[in-house]
Amino acid sequence: MADLDDNKKIKGISDLISESKNKSLKPVLAETNVQEKFTEKMTAIKLGELEGVAQAQAQQLGYPYINLIGLPINSDAINAIPREISRKNKVICFYKSEKGAKIASTMPNNPKLKEILTMAAKDTASGTGEIYLISEHNLKTADQLYDKFPPPREFIAGVKITAAELEQLQKELKNFGILNAKLNEEKNMTVIFQMLLAGAMQSNSSDIHIEPEENKINIRYRIDGVLHVVATLQKNVWERLDSRIKNIAGLKINITEKPQDGRITIFLKGENKMEIRVSTLPTAYGESIVLRLLHPNITGLNFEELGIRGKAFDDLKRQIDRPTGMIITTGPTGSGKTTTLYAILSKLNNPEIKIITLEDPIEYKIEGISQSQIDHTAGYSFADGLRSLLRQDPDIIMVGELRDLETVDVAIQAALTGHQVLSTLHTNDASGAIPRFLSMGAKPYLLAPALNAVIGQRLVRKIHDKCKIEAQLEPAQLEKVKETLKNLPPNSGYKIDLNKLKFYRGQGCDECNHIGLKGRLGIYEIFTLNPQIEAEILSGKTSEYIISKVAHDSGMISMAQDGILKALDGITTVDEVFRVVE
């Protein structure tokens, strides 16, 4: 009994001690909790005050304010601006979608933000967006998202190809015979793809066609607008080659019964990269694959290098220097219209001028120009885009194509209200542009003062200088040439002795793959508006023939005449000229 009593006493003392300790700790814990809550409250009040200051600053500067705390921001938005640029310019991209981008900065007046916004909004429909003001606290908090969402690694979908590997292959594949032999020796499909790509780059091809037939696979390159068979592969490699290319392009390998479209990015030397558009189409013997190579150096073409010469060059240059009005290029698909417009834009491009383009699709990026891509699936048409574009305060507008009356009307109004408008029209020649406008329903009294110049053009292949020799024409062809030159306008600036005509051709060599032709340039007919043409427009009943005659009397040479003159200069061949203008 005594032991039990002792144990009860001990337990009682232990309980008293525990109770005493708890009583002494409760005030301490309570005080700590109060202190923490107080600190949190004061921090919240301080941050609230700072946000209030930022909000007031935004209102004063005329920028929208936003608080990013709690706002969901995804990796696409964060990585639209590299972290180094973000920290240097105190800017963050917090929203990005197909429609555009939204960026926020503590310094919204920073002149570099417009350029950064364009960078953040690349590959979006509008190519632009909005600038917001945020507080320093918001910026620091958002900066932590770079750790959560590291930038994606740049890679070619499914396969690694280095610039050095491509350069080495280009040196090895000196002609199509070597390319054919090496392709048939190789068993690795990735290496075959690399060879196809290197061969195309070596020959400056625009497209690679991979076409399965019953017993073989034809490989064709489109060089200077003309397809050439460059290799033939055995049919038994088709399934593996087809699967490998589709895998590289991010296409579904198991889908062979309907067309697919994909894209590949090749990272070249320095900061250059080449985009490749991939298209597959089911055929009787397997999928036909076409790879469109969008060479990055296309935009390096200068206006002076287009091939426009003499009076036509002087007339067009004067119209390009005008601040308002329309310049239209005409011709069929593949005649170089977009390249001409890019060269004009590059000539006009400077920091003092705002240039915006509407394209379908954007094929080549030009630094310093806001380029917007049409998206018909999202209801973003040329007409809708052009209206939105005018609210962006542009000086110069480039519209990929005038397809309908709605777009034509908006473009004409833009040209009449202080903008320079560049665009394309599908007609056979320059003289057909005005009847085409009128047939679409354009109002003559608006079209006449809006239109500045019309360019008709084709592309011809150039003679390869290293294998150029003199050529003798057949009597019938020579007579045709003389008839063409007889009609040169007296005031065109050209005088030709028809008894002293000399022409050239390329005999072919390894460097031009025995084609005898290498590279392309344009042949043109260009007229600018004058009182006679303006009167024809205002009549509303003019024809292509009448416009052609009036333009001829004003000194315009035809595309055929321009081509023959360039053939006389040894730049191209008579066969090439008549191939594209007949």
Give me the pLDDT at residue 154, please: 40
The length of the chain, given as a count of residues? 582
Q: Assess whether pLDDT exceeds 50 at residue 16.
A: no
Q: Are 381 and 399 in contact (CB under 8 A)?
A: no
SS3 state at 303: helix
Give me the pLDDT at residue 156, please: 44
Phi-psi region of 494 (alpha: psi -120 to 50; beta: other; left: phi over 0): beta
Give me the pLDDT at residue 9, please: 46
User: What does 1-48 look like in DSSP terms, one character per residue?
Assistant: -HHHHHHHHHHHHHHHHHHHHHHHHHHHHHHHHHHHHHHHHHHHHHHH
Task: Give CA–CA dist 86/139, Å, rounded.
Answer: 9
Residue 319: CB atoms within 10 A of its CB come to 20
Give me the pLDDT at residue 1, please: 47
Mind listing the pLDDT tens digit for each residue in 346-377? 999 998 999 999 988 777 778 889 988 887 76
Task: Give CA–CA dist 47/275, Å, rounded.
Answer: 46
Domain 298-581 has CATH 3.30.465.10: no
pTM: 0.68
SS3 state at 402: coil
Q: Assess whether pLDDT exceeds 90 at residue 388.
A: no
**Half-sphere exposure in the Cβ direction for 501 (13 Å, CA):** 26
Match 């033939």 to its residue by tokens: 232
Least confident of 157-161, 210-214, 364-368, 456-460: 157-161
SS3 state at 305: helix
Least confident of 192-206, 261-275, 394-408, 514-528: 261-275
Cα dihedral sign, 47-49-52-54? negative
Q: Are 146 and 118 in contact (CB under 8 A)?
A: no
Residue 34: CB atoms within 10 A of its CB come to 10
User: What does 502-537 look like in DSSP terms, one character per residue?
Assistant: -EEEE---GGGTT-SEEEEEEEEEEEE--HHHHHHH
Domain 163-294 has CATH 3.30.450.90: yes
Average of per-residue pLDDT across 468-481: 95
Average of per-residue pLDDT across 231-241: 93
Least confident of 19-23, 228-232, 369-373, 479-483: 19-23
Least confident of 24-33, 237-246, 335-344: 24-33
Mind listing the pLDDT tens digit for each residue in 94-128? 998 877 889 999 998 888 898 899 888 876 767 78
Give me the pLDDT at residue 80, please: 86
Domain spans, the chain: 29-152, 163-294, 298-581
Mind listing the pLDDT tens digit for each residue in 571-580? 999 999 999 9
Nearest to 576 by CA among 463, 464, 488, 484: 463
Task: Give CA–CA dist 452/414, Å, rounded.
Answer: 13
Helices and strands (H and E) in the chain: how many: 21, 18
Q: Assess whether pLDDT exceeds 60 at residue 155.
A: no
Task: Give CA–CA dist 241/553, Å, rounded.
Answer: 58
Q: Assess whether pLDDT exceeds 70 at residue 540.
A: yes
pLDDT band for position 2 (cuts 50, 70, 90): very low
Between residues 568 and 190, the one the model is more confident about: 568
